[in-house]
């Protein structure tokens, strides 16, 4: 006699076909552009990229609050869409989201 099984048996998924997941338009555009987004606000047009904490290998100074963004902290990189990239800045995510309510320091 075999020991009692405490968990229910799983049904086999062999032979079942599932429809492939269709990504939404925003997710597809983020994949095509490498995660870049275009945003517009009262301070003009910006291109942004969200940097996850695991990819943040350097520390930066946030122009929104003038505080340090430490290594390993998720943040936002923003720059003007038309230019040479010299205006590229690293922001705390919350500072970037609240930038329209404070005076610019950059």
For position 31, what pLDDT does the model report? Answer: 60
Q: Where are the domains of the chain?
A: 37-101
Average pLDDT, the chain: 80
Contacts of residue 81, defined as CB under 8 A and 6 or more positions apart, other chains included, come to 38, 45, 46, 47
Is it the case that residue 94 has pLDDT exceeding 70? yes
Categorize the per-residue pLDDT at 66 as very low, low, confident or very high, splitting at 50, 70 and 90: very high
DSSP labels, 15-60: T---PPPPPPHHHHHHHHTTTEEEEEETTEEEEEEEE-GGG--S-E
């Amino acid at each position: 006699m075999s020991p009692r099984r405490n968990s229910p048996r799983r049904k086999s998924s062999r032979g079942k076909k599932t429809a492939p997941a269709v990504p939404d338009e925003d997710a597809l555009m983020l994949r095509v552009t490498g995660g870049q987004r275009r945003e517009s606000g009262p301070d003009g047009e910006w291109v942004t990229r969200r940097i996850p904490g695991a990819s943040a290998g350097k520390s930066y100074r946030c122009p929104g609050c003038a505080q340090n963004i430490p290594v390993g902290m998720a943040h936002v990189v923003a720059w003007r869409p038309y230019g040479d990239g010299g205006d590229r800045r690293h922001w705390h995510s919350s500072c970037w989201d609240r930038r329209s309510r404070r005076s610019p320091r950059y």
